[in-house]
Structure 1
Amino acid sequence: MGSDAPYWHHRLPVDVTSLGFERLLWVVVAIALVGDVATTFAGLYLGLSESNPVARGAIDGYGLGGMLALKGFAVGVALLCRPLLPQVYRPIIPAGLALPWTVAVCINLYMISVVA
């Protein structure tokens, strides 16, 4: 079965390259990292507890420094793995950090709103 109808091509108002998209995702990573750390410690201050056992151990043992070291380790591993991928697939690396940290921020904000 075929169609002679013209194809619809939608173009974005700007030209997006994989490098530009990757840079945008690294900005999202930085914002999500700061948001996750800030909302985690705000929640802890309000009496909530950290549900991630690795993060809980880092916070219990070393406080903010432990949390930042944990996040720094994750970013470091991501940066080390980045050159292993072809350029077109490299946005997967920051997306793999940005997505769970953004979800964590949303969950933290919800939990804070329930307690506050």
Structure 2
Amino acid sequence: MSSDGAHARVHFPVDVSPVALERFCWILVGVSLVGDIVTTFVGLHMGLAESNPIARSAIEGYGLVGMIALKAFAVGIGLVCRPLLPVAYRAIVPAGLAVPWTAAVFINLYMISTVI
């Protein structure tokens, strides 16, 4: 890590451009979004309950469409906020979506494995 006085710079072992990192993070958003939706509905069909009250309300009221709309809303907020950041920091937006959704996939998989 080095600093130019105003910004800390992290040096990766390989050269990763901010654009490439952001692209990877958006791909991870897509994969984790689908994984979260699929594992959530598999768990619900196996008798598990949704622990997120907002997601639970969307699912109870509108089913799969409600869950997709909720995820689309979150991605939309991210896309609206993305241009507010400098290019070097834009990957934080998809990372902020992908990290919790990826964690949710693993939690869902664990919970499903306890029911099987």
Compute the TM-score of the two structures, normalised by the length of structure 2.
Answer: 0.89
Could you list the structure 1 runs, at least 4 aligned residues long, displaced by more than 2 angstroms after superposition: none
What is the aligned partner in structure 1 of residue 52 from structure 2?
A: 52
- Aligned residue in 2 for 1:101: 101
Structure 1 equivalent of residue 75 of structure 2: 75
Tell me the CA shift for residue 16 of structure 1: 1.0
Partner letter of residue 60 of structure 2?
D
| Letter matched to residue 93 of structure 1 | V
Identity of aligned residues (%): 63
For the pair 1:30 / 2:30, whether they are aligned, the reply is: yes
Q: 1:10 Cα deviation (Å)?
A: 7.0
3-state SS, counterpart of residue 63 of structure 1? helix
How far apart are 1:11 and its partner, in Å? Answer: 3.5
Residue in 1 aligned with 2:85? 85
Q: Name the count of aligned residue pairs.
A: 106
Provide the C-alpha distance between the structure 2 equivalents of 1:68 and 1:10, rounded to a whole number of angstroms. 35
Distance 1:89 1:65 in 2: 32
CA change 1:55–1:10 in 2 (3 A) is: closer
1:10–1:95 distance in 2 versus 1, CA, 3 Å: closer
Q: CA RMSD in A?
A: 1.2
Q: 1:10 to 1:75 in 2, by over 3 A?
A: closer
Give the match for residue 39 of structure 1.
Answer: 39
Please give the alpha-carbon distance, in whole angstroms, between the structure 2 residues aligned to 1:93 and 1:10. Answer: 20
Residue segments in structure 2 that go unaligned for 5+ positions in a row: 1-10
Q: TM-score, normalised by structure 1?
A: 0.89
Per the alignment, do residues 41 and 80 of structure 1 end up closer, same or farther by CA in structure 2, a change over 3 Å counting?
Answer: same
Runs (5+) with no aligned partner, structure 1: 1-8
